[in-house]
Structure 1
Amino acid sequence: MSPPFRVLIPARRASSRLPDKVLAEVAGRPLILHVLDRARASGAVSVHVATDSEAVADRVLADGGDVVMTSAHHRSGTDRLAEAVSVLGFDAGDIVVNLQGDEPAMPIACLIQVAELLAEQPEAQMATLWSGIEVEAEWRDPNVVKLVADHAGRALYFSRASVPHPREGGWPRAQGRRHVGLYAYRAGALAAWRTLAASPLEQLESLEQLRALQAGWWIATAEAAAPIPVGIDTPEDLARFRASLSQASV
C-alpha cells in the first residue's frame, strides 16, 4: 500500500520560451487542468496548484480544484512550494510531491514511486528519479541534467556537464543518467528550504537541487518505473502533446 502523500503543482504564467503555456488550450481545456488530472489520479490525499496568477487560479477553481496563492517573486519552483507549505500548514512529516505545471503526461506510477522512495528513506529530505541515457548526443547536451549517485542511490551530484566522463574517451552508456525533474519532499524540509545558505554550485549550474546537496541534504534517487516524456517548454512540445491526445481519442 502506498504511503499517504500530497501533491503541489507550481504554476506560473511567465515562460521565456512559451509564455502562458499553463493556460494554453489543449483539447478544449488549459494545460494546467491536464496536469491536475494526473495529480488527482495518483491517489494523493490532497492536490493544490500553487500560483501567483489569478487567471490560473480561476481556471483551476472553476474545475473544482484547490489553489494556494503565492508570491510573484520566487526564483524557483521549490521556493514557491516552500511558501505554499507554510500557508497550508502541512505537518513536518508530510510527504509532498512536486509535479511541475508543464508535465501533463507524467506517469501516475512515477508520482507514487517518488513518494514511496522518500517514505522508505527516513533520513532523506528529498527524493527524485532518473532514466538511462541511450544516445550520446543527449549525454553531451547541457540542457539535459545528468545525475551521479552512490551504490545506495543517494545523489552525489547533478550537472549539465557530460558526467561521469570517461578518462579514456567515449561515453558511459551504462552509467549515463538523465535526471527527471520530479521530486518528493518532507514538508519540514520545504519549510527549511528558504533558510539554506546560498549555493555557489546552484548559481554556477543553475540547478536548485545543488543548494540542497551543498547543504548536506540526503536526496534519495531511483530509476523511474515508467518512461517519462519531456515536459512542455516549446511550441513544438505543445504541438506533440496535442497530437498525442488526438491519436488517443481515435
Structure 2
Amino acid sequence: MRSDSGRRCHVVIPARYGSSRLEGKPLIDLAGKPMIVRVHDNAAKAAGLTSADCDVTVATDDPRIAAALERHGIRYTMTDPDHRSGTDRVAEVARSAGWGEDDIIVNLQGDEPLFGAELIAHFLNFCLAGTTPSVFTACIPILSAEDYRGPNAVKVVLDCSGTALLFSRAPLPFARDRADEARAVEAALLHVGIYGYPNALLQRICQEPPCSLETIEALEQLRFMWMGIPIQVTQLDRMPGKGVDTPEDARLVAQLIEEQESSDG
C-alpha cells in the first residue's frame, strides 16, 4: 500500500567493487554472508515495517557483486562504473526504472551492515511524512569531544524546525571561549550519512556540478544547500553502528554480528 501522502519509496544501496582502502568491500564475508547481503536484508526488513509501497534495489558496477546478489535472490541494477559518487549511481537506477517524480528515493550506504532495520524504518517513515521539495537525512547527538573536534565526524546545526543550517567537518557549534567547549560538545549533532530525495529533486542535484564549498569540505550535502534546497533532519535515538572501511572494521563488525546472532538464537 501507499503512504498517506501517496508516495512510493525505493531504497537503493550503492555497491562499488573498487575501494582505495578495501578492494571488493561489498563481498567481504561477515559471519557467513557478504556485507552487501546483510545491508540488503536490513533494508528489506525495514521496508516491511513501513505502511508504504517500498522496495529495495542494489546498484552495482561489477559482475562479481551481481553474481553474489543473484545467488541470494536479490534485485539489482548494473550502473556506469565511472560515476563520481553513490548519489549519481542511485540517480541512474531511478531514471532507468522510470520511477515517479514524487517517489522518495533513499540512498542507504552499502558499508553499513549494523544500520538496523528499526532505524532504517524510522528514516523511511520520516521521509514519507516530510514536506517536499526537500532532501532528508539524519543525525544523533555527538558521541565524544574527540568526534566534536575531529574532521572525520561531520557535524550539523539545525534550526528550530529541524532543517539544516550548516554541515561541516569543523567543530560546530564552535566554542569561542575554551571554557564553553563542554557546552558546545553537549549541543553538537553528528550527521548520519543516509539520504532521501524526491526523485525529481535527486535528478536535478545530479545535473549540478560540485560547488566550491562541497569540494573544500568534501561534503556533497553542501551542494544541496548551495542550490537552495532545504535539508530536513531527523534525530535518531541511537548510533546506527560501525561502518566498514578497513579489514579491522570488518573483523570487529563480524564479531558483533556473531555475538548478536548467538544471543538471538
TM-score range, shorter chain: over 0.9
Cα RMSD between the aligned structures? Answer: 1.7
- Segments of 5+ residues of structure 1 without an aligned counterpart are none
CA distance in 2 between partners of 1:119 and 1:70 (Å) = 26
Partner of 2:243 in structure 1?
231
- 1:40 counterpart = 2:49: no
SS in structure 2 opposite 1:49?
A: strand
Distance 1:42 1:249 in 2: 18
Identity value in percent: 35
Q: Which residues of 2 match residues 1-250 of structure 1 at below 5 A?
A: 3=3, 4-43=8-47, 45-169=54-178, 170-171=181-182, 172-250=184-262
Deviation at 1:182, TM superposition (A): 1.0
CA contact (8 A) 2:214 2:223 kept: yes
Q: CA deviation at 1:43?
A: 2.0
Say whether the 8 Å CA contact 1:97–1:111 is kept in structure 2: no
Summarize deviations over 1:109-135 as a string: whole Å, max 9, x none: 222222222233223421111011131
For the Cα contact (< 8 Å) 1:197–1:215, is it kept in 2? Answer: no
Give the distance between the partners of 2:161 and 2:132, measured in 1 at CA: 13
Amino acid at match of 2:142: I
Partner-residue secondary structure (3-state), 2:12: strand
Aligned pairs, number: 250
Higher helix share: 2
Gaps of 5+ in 2: 49-53
DSSP 3-state at the match of 1:43: helix
Amino acid at match of 1:211: R
- Shift of the 249–108 alpha-carbon distance from structure 1 to 2, 3 Å rule, reads closer
**Aligned partners of 1:129 and 1:180 also within 8 Å:** yes
Provide Cα deviations, 1:72-98, integer angstroms capped at 9, x if missing partner: 111111111111110111101111211
TM-score by length of 1: 0.94
**Aligned-residue offset at 1:156:** 1.1
* Amino acid across the alignment from 2:223: R
Over 6 Å off, 4+ runs: none
Counterpart contact for 1:2–1:116, Cα < 8 Å: no
Q: CA deviation at 1:230?
A: 2.4
Residue 19 of structure 1 deviates from its aligned partner by 1.4
Alpha-carbon distance between aligned partners in 1 of 2:244 and 2:228, rounded to the nearest angstrom: 31
CA distance in 2, matches of 1:48, 1:122: 24
TM-score between the two structures when normalised by the length of structure 2: 0.89
